[in-house]
Amino acid sequence: MQCKKDEIRDKILNTSSRLFIKNGYENTSLQLIADKCYISKSNIYRYFSSKEEIYEVLVKDARQIFNDMADYFPNHGFAGKYTPDKIDEISTIVSKGMCEHRMAALIMLNSSEGRDRNLLIDRISGHFLEVCPVEDTEIKSIAVKLLVIGLSDVLLNNSEEEDIRKGLRNLMTYHYMGLDGLLKLVSSS
């Protein structure tokens, strides 16, 4: 009997994961999850106390990994050093974490009002753009949002770590070195 319970729990998590990525956390109801799992909503409550608990199970490990990554870079001499070799190093580290926790990252990034999306935006702006030479905070805010949108796009369109690394490298090269930097990178590859 335990095997059946584990299967149902896994089905709830897998279905929730897909729906959170497709619709966002805010637009996914417990009823929709139940309908897609072909179970009753009350059956979900046998496994999880709320939609929030499902979300937490899906993202809590990834949240810690991403926090650790965000703390790693400024403490290891990366701040303000966006040269091609540093961008390669950063994209390798980030792509490893993103690949290992791809689904959780997509869930976090696709929640328009979610605290984790805001956490990622705050961490990126706090660590990566604090060294940006532009003084205008509105421009910095737009740049961070574009970086997060680009990150989401890289994860949605790639599943292999090497492809994610290349996408992140290209995104960060463009973000920090502009079109000229991206053209140099592409022409040297």
Same domain, 102 and 137: yes
3-class DSSP state for residue 59? helix
Same domain, 88 and 162: yes
Same domain, 93 and 177: yes
- The listed range with the strongest mean pLDDT (13-17, 25-29, 160-164, 166-170) is 13-17
How many C-beta atoms surround the C-beta of residue 175 within 10 A? 20
Residue 133: which pLDDT band, with cuts at 50, 70 and 90?
Answer: low
Same domain, 43 and 65: no
Same domain, 128 and 88: yes
Which pLDDT tens digit goes with each residue over 9-53? 999 999 999 999 999 888 999 999 999 999 999 999 999 999 999
- Of 168 and 145, the structure prediction assigns the larger pLDDT to 168
Domain extent, residue 159, equals 58-188
| CATH number for position 23 | 1.10.10.60
Number of domains in the chain: 2
- The listed range with the strongest mean pLDDT (63-67, 93-97, 139-143, 161-165) is 161-165
Question: Exposed (0-12), middle (13-18) or buried (19+): which is 104, by Cβ within 10 Å?
Answer: buried
Same domain, 66 and 119: yes
Sign, CA torsion 26/103/72/129: negative
